[in-house]
Structure 1
Amino acid sequence: MRHASNLVRDPSRVQGGDLTDLPEGAITLDLSICSNRFGPPPEAIAALADLITRQPDSLTPPPYRAQTPYLEAFARRLHTDTRHMLAGCGVTEFLAALARLLTDRRVAVITPEYTGTLEYFAYADFLSADPGVQDTPEMRFQRTREAMMAYEYVVLSNPSNPLGHYIPRNDLLRVCTHSQHRGATLIVDEEYIAFQGNGRSLAGTDLSNLVVLQSTGKANGMPGTRAGMLWTRDTHLRGDVQRLLLPWLYLLDITAATAALQDNAWLPGTLAKIKSDAQRLQQLLQGRFGARVSPADIHYRFVHLDNPYPAHRHLLNYRINTRLFSGDEAGTVPGLRLAAPSTEEEFDQVQAALETLTAGDENADHHRHSCRALRGSPTQPM
């Protein structure tokens, strides 16, 4: 068995849901992945089963028109139409394409931000809160408003990853309206907008200086599928992006994603449960970390920690995995991101770990690339 002391990668380099560096069976509660833990929807599973068992011949030719029902279902969900939309392999494909197109433009990224966005837009200016200041939604909005008056393109996630901050829809619409005369465009990654609530997306507005990105993976609990959409009224930009996309989508992915969008009953019920669970998680974390917990209304919470490694390691000893951010990379802040548990047993597991996390453990000066306490089994009884 490979022991955690032999980890190849620093935990801050490991994406959410990636357990490949940990011993098999060491984790029983993975809170590092920020998707709907109740997914996939039954309709998506049924659609895949039907495709494979009853329509196997559909796997023979390339899926030339598979994006059509997907975009139609997405348009109905967002109350817009398909004329201003593109289908792609998740938000990531669109971010990569936009980053390639805008290399010679003045671009700002409102940080902290999704690690993929930071990598693709490494040439951009990263606009962060002042050093030592814990960011807030109001501060994030202020940076966005100022950036829209100084840059050609401004990129942000809303709600934000990893802090979970949400800037109200009307505030962003006003910023876009006021900056339209100077040609500034806002690119908004709405990967987690469904967790925030209904009617929050910016897609479908009359503004031409707005690009909206969404996917069907995270909200529906199937990030293993790669399907997403770009919405913009900017015809030229939309055409430029389309020329950089793959010629078609993957049939299995798009079949599951389309079925998920067409199921209007499953998602609202699960999201209500997740938001309630996340609020309960916030209370647990605040009981241990106080004001260092970033309040939010979505499915995960972020804990600001100058050195998150000891707390991360302590939780690993209770078989709980979290997403660690070291803060060493530009555009990031140090801390832990935790998705909400979903059962009483899982909450008990988190509470037991937090109750035994001492101030000494939390502040200990441990080597940052070490999880030596984990040996494939918990050091405390479950």
Structure 2
Amino acid sequence: MLEHGGKLREAAQRYGRNDWLDLSTGLNPGGYPAPALAPDAWHRLPEHDPALLQAAQCYYRAPRMLAVAGTQAAIQALPRLRAPSRVVVASPSYAEHLHHWSQHGHRTSPVPYSELDAAVATAGVVVVCNPNNPTGAFVPRTTLLQWAEALATRGGWLVVDEAFADTDDTHSLADATQAAGLVVLRSVGKFFGLAGLRLGFVAARDDILAPLADMLGPWAVSGPAQQVARAALEDRAWQGAAQEKLHAAGTRLRALLASHGIVSNGTSLFQWWPEPLADEFHDHMARRGIWVRLFREAARGIRLGLPPDETGWQRLELALNEWMNR
């Protein structure tokens, strides 16, 4: 299995401490407060709730969506819905995309963001994280729409992973997914801080959503997850307040890093930079109980999420001071 953020048990075993400040996942540290569940939530088989899909389609402005057990479920299933194709995956990006498209007979190529435009001409499928995880890079909406149209003329797909788009959806294509071959993935795990629900959505036309639903089966998303997600997607007051807090915190994190000579990029939920001493920085932070995300391959560097409280901010600033003065 590929390496991801989290894994605090592993960190505790390795470093012998349990007072972790976990900045490794890029999730909203002030996640949505899950409401009380209906009494039968744990006893009934989870039928698909039309009200959940309506809430999702309204929130994401998508004409049609399918609820899935986290976008990871769709990432694993989509490659199985196509005959072997030439698949271009933007690089660096969330590694699960390239991993799963490579397992089902497809000819895969990781392509730098700067070279994607030329690669579209010969691809059957193009996969882009927008904004990108971990670098925060993005492709303008107008460019994505041009790629989608070009791919559709030869039966191709454009798959856009918008898991981190909630804090800035300027370039989102969810509202355009009535177009042929356009697939958009959205997650409630990041902005809403509900990664444990394992719930996400796929926006696309029926010719993609119907076989995807068949492949995932009749009870793909738990009843409790559907209830919590519906409440979150309909809670406009919480969403507005969360946007303000996250934008302020994201600006604060970027400024804190800059004050320590670190030029970073990212979103309101995380910052990333190409750290030359990435392994040393990761170890330095871990020895102070701060768990950050280390990238060793294409996006070699460090990603930091947001501290959950003022004590966390102070711990991070102290550790950065010690890093600069080592």
Normalised to the residue count of structure 2, the TM-score between the two structures is 0.89
3-state secondary structure, aligned to 2:323: coil
How many angstroms does 1:342 deviate by?
4.3
Query: Alignment RMSD, CA only?
Result: 2.3
How many angstroms does 1:179 deviate by?
4.3
How many angstroms does 1:110 deviate by?
0.5
- Which of 219, 227, 236 is the aligned partner of 1:255? 227
Determine the C-alpha separation between the residues in 2 that align with 1:339 and 1:103: 38
Change (3 A) 1:255 1:153: same
Report the counterpart of residue 22 of structure 2 in structure 1. 30
How many angstroms does 1:358 deviate by?
4.4
Structure with bigger gyration radius:
1
Q: How does 1:277-296 map to 2 (within 5 A)?
A: 277-291=249-263, 293=264, 295-296=265-266
1:190-245 Cα deviation digits (max 9, x unpaired): 11110224x54211224213111112122111100011111112x33333222211
Report the counterpart of residue 109 of structure 2 in structure 1. 126
Determine the C-alpha separation between the residues in 2 that align with 1:179 and 1:126: 16
Report the counterpart of residue 7 of structure 2 in structure 1. 18
* Preserved CA contact (<8 Å) 2:198 2:225: yes
1:63 aligns with 2:35: no
Report the counterpart of residue 349 of structure 1 in structure 2. 315
1:157-182 Cα deviation digits (max 9, x unpaired): 11111111122223312332344433
Q: How does 1:181-260 map to 2 (within 5 A)?
A: 181-197=153-169, 200-205=171-176, 206-233=178-205, 235-248=206-219, 249-260=221-232
* Preserved CA contact (<8 Å) 2:62 2:203: no
How many angstroms does 1:125 deviate by?
2.7
Structure 1: runs of 5 or more not aligned = 1-11, 130-139, 362-382
Report the counterpart of residue 76 of structure 1 in structure 2. 58
State the identity %.
28
Structure 2: runs of 5 or more not aligned = none
How many residue pairs get aligned? The number is: 318
Determine the C-alpha separation between the residues in 2 that align with 1:31 and 1:60: 35
- Which of 259, 266, 278 is the aligned partner of 1:308? 278
- Which of 93, 99, 107 is the aligned partner of 1:113? 93
Report the counterpart of residue 136 of structure 2 in structure 1. 164
1:272 aligns with 2:238: no
How many angstroms does 1:348 deviate by?
1.9
Determine the C-alpha separation between the residues in 2 that align with 1:202 and 1:176: 10
Determine the C-alpha separation between the residues in 1 that align with 2:180 and 2:254: 38
Normalised to the residue count of structure 1, the TM-score between the two structures is 0.77
Segments ≥4 residues shifted beyond 6 Å: none
Task: Specify the code of the residue in structure 1 equivalent to 2:305.
Answer: A
3-state secondary structure, aligned to 2:273: strand
Task: Specify the code of the residue in structure 2 equivalent to 1:37.
Answer: P
